[in-house]
């Protein structure tokens, strides 16, 4: 693993390509500002040729004076590059399919033609004074010979900063991704960084991103909440957590910004994350099961490898159907109600918790609604500690 990687966020471009999702100009500038303040180095901030709003949004980011470099995605065609220039992009993500399937069957061009179009696009971007990232779209289904030739012809030091290898359909696995990066890294001038762009069709986007870094990639692309085309992209929070805690790789992003970023993207995309969403999900730092809570109260390493403080969150314990007396005692201790509770009282209080949960009426709901209710009960409510405290006072009162 390298000591550090560059982080490129593409929520504003690939994330916005999520079917049915679009962001207003103000939302884009707000998200770009937060990403930049968090320490993200580069933003793939939009596709200016797609709409005037994208041009305006990129200009707005420049006017807001954000520190992150503002990038624009473009095909190697004059109109896209002109739009990126109009948007005042610092750099361009210039993409061209590399697989024969995409070249021959959907674009109807040969490898030679693709190479020539790309070379002309490179010259156009450079002529317009913008920085350049070359994107090999569908690289994970492309011929290594064709990609090697493109490396020689369009990925030249002094012209190109990064080569982005895109697993556009999410068909790679960690082994193939690692091998692809290694092969092209041997061909590429070391002044140019390889960057991974992965999709999550098999749920492997994060694993493939990490494998790419292992193979020699020195930059990664991610989206907040993993939103993006189809099953989405590599999730920013997951990638950063793994890089930090599993591999010790620096990335320059302040992890305490991740929950806020996640909530902002939930709000502006309308796509809500599950409570189990790694790193930023509502249940990630919460525990209910009695045996777990008992262990956690003795040593938090028992069931916690990702410290909540890393993202600025707090550890929580939920009283519920699966609780044990350890948490009942802890609640009484934390609320200052009682420090020393006999076994019989603790057990009676636990029974109150369990019967309260068992008494919840879920009839009249269809299956989907019931599942949602269960989620809400688990994620948000459990049983309030007040129930235990009130019951304790009732028992203690009755005893005195
Ligand atoms: C893998 C990725 O995620 S790439 C990014 C994908 N993102 C988007 O498509 C979102 C933004 N897109 C848009 O707003 C629109 O598609 C536009 C404005 C870019 C283009 O719209 P239209 O001109 O109406 O074309 P349309 O989208 O229907 O078709 C795409 C055209 O681009 C061509 N094309 C696709 N990729 C490339 C490429 N890398 N280089 C050159 N041409 C390309 C296609 O061959 C097709 O050309 P044709 O119309 O001559 O057959
Ligand atoms: C344009 C590139 C980076 C892309 O989104 C893809 O190939 O998935």
In a shared domain, residues 296 and 263: no
Q: Give nearest CA residue, ligand 1 atom 4.
A: 95
Q: Determine, yes or no, domain membership for 275.
A: no
Q: In which element (H, E) is residue 360 found?
A: none
Span from the CA of 29 to the centroid of ligand 1 (angstroms)? 25
In a shared domain, residues 262 and 301: no
In a shared domain, residues 196 and 338: no
Q: Determine, yes or no, domain membership for 280.
A: no
Ligand 2 pocket, residue 168 CB under 6 Å:
yes
Q: What is the pLDDT along the chain (400 residues), one digit of tens a residue?
A: 999 999 999 999 999 999 999 999 999 999 999 999 999 999 999 999 999 999 999 999 999 999 999 999 999 999 999 999 999 999 999 999 999 999 999 999 999 999 999 999 999 999 999 999 999 999 999 999 999 999 999 999 999 999 999 999 999 999 999 999 999 999 999 999 999 999 999 999 999 999 999 999 999 999 999 999 999 999 999 999 999 999 999 999 999 999 999 999 999 999 999 989 999 999 999 999 999 999 999 999 999 999 999 999 999 999 999 999 999 999 999 999 999 999 999 999 999 999 988 877 666 555 555 555 555 544 444 788 899 999 999 998 876 6
Q: Look at residues 8, 9, 31 and name the one whose alpha carbon lies nearest to residue 265.
A: 31
Give the residue from 269, 300, 323 where a domain finishes. Answer: 269
Long-range contacts of 117-121 (CB under 8 A, 24+ apart): 117/76, 117/77, 118/76, 118/94, 118/150, 118/153, 118/154, 119/153, 119/154, 120/76, 121/74, 121/75, 121/76, 121/77, 121/81, 121/94, 121/96
- Residues spanned by the domain of 35: 6-269
With tokens 């989907």, the residue in question is 368
Q: Determine, yes or no, domain membership for 276.
A: no
Ligand 1 pocket, residue 233 CB under 6 Å:
no
Ligand 2 pocket, residue 14 CB under 6 Å:
yes
Indicate which CATH number applies to the domain containing 100.
Answer: 3.20.20.70
Span from the CA of 185 to the centroid of ligand 1 (angstroms)? 29
Task: For residues 232 and 96, give the distance between their C-alpha atoms in angstroms, rounded to a whole number.
Answer: 20
In a shared domain, residues 211 and 125: yes
Residues sharing a CB contact under 8 Å with residue 284, sequence separation 6 or more, in sequence order: 276, 277, 278, 306, 308, 313
Task: For residues 332 and 322, give the distance between their C-alpha atoms in angstroms, rounded to a whole number.
Answer: 18
Task: For residues 308 and 151, give the distance between their C-alpha atoms in angstroms, rounded to a whole number.
Answer: 43
In a shared domain, residues 75 and 177: yes
Residues in the chain: 400
In a shared domain, residues 308 and 358: yes
What separation in angstroms does the CA of 338 have from each of 88, 330, 382, 393?
A: 64, 9, 21, 10
In a shared domain, residues 265 and 294: no
The predicted complex's ipTM stands at 0.97
Q: Determine, yes or no, domain membership for 278.
A: no
How many C-alpha atoms does 129 have within 13 Å on its Cβ side?
A: 4
Domains of the chain: total = 2
Q: Determine, yes or no, domain membership for 11.
A: yes
In a shared domain, residues 106 and 254: yes
In a shared domain, residues 341 and 229: no
Give the residue from 240, 269, 298 where a domain finishes. Answer: 269
């Amino acid at each position: 693993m390298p000591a550090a990687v560059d982080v490129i966020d593409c929520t504003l471009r690939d994330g916005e390509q999520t079917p049915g999702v679009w962001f207003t100009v103000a939302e884009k500038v707000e998200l770009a500002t937060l990403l930049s303040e968090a320490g993200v180095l580069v933003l793939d901030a939009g596709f200016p040729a797609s709409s005037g709003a994208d041009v305006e949004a990129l200009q707005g980011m420049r006017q807001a004076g954000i520190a992150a470099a503002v990038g624009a995605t473009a095909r190697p065609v004059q109109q896209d590059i002109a739009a990126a220039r109009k948007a005042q992009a610092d750099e361009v993500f210039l993409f061209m399919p590399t697989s024969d399937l995409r070249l021959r069957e959907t674009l109807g061009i040969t490898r030679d033609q693709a190479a020539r179009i790309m070379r002309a696009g490179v010259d156009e971007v450079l002529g317009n004074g913008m920085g350049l990232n070359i994107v090999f779209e569908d690289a994970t289904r492309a011929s290594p010979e064709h990609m090697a030739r493109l490396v020689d012809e369009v990925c030249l030091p002094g012209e190109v900063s990064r080569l982005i290898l895109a697993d556009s359909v999410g068909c790679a696995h960690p082994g193939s991704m690692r091998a692809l990066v290694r092969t092209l890294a041997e061909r590429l001038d070391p002044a140019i960084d390889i960057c991974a762009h992965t999709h999550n069709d098999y749920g492997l986007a994060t694993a493939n991103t990490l494998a790419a870094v292992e193979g020699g990639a020195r930059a990664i692309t991610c989206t907040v909440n993993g939103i993006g085309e189809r099953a989405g992209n590599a999730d920013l929070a997951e990638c950063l957590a793994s890089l930090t805690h599993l591999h010790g790789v620096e990335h320059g992003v302040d992890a305490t910004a991740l929950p806020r970023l996640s909530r902002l993207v939930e709000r502006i995309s309308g796509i809500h994350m599950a409570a189990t969403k790694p790193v930023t999900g509502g249940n990630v730092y919460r525990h209910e099961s009695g045996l777990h809570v008992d262990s956690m109260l003795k040593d938090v390493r028992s069931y916690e490898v990702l410290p909540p403080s890393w993202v600025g969150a707090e550890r929580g314990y939920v009283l519920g159907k699966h609780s044990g007396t350890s948490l009942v005692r802890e609640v009484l201790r934390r609320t200052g109600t009682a420090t020393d509770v006999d076994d019989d009282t603790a057990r009676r209080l636990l029974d109150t918790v369990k019967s309260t949960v068992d008494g919840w009426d879920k009839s009249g709901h269809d299956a989907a609604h019931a599942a949602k209710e269960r989620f809400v009960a688990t994620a948000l409510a459990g049983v309030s500690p007040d129930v235990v405290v009130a019951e304790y006072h009732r028992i203690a009162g009755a005893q005195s």
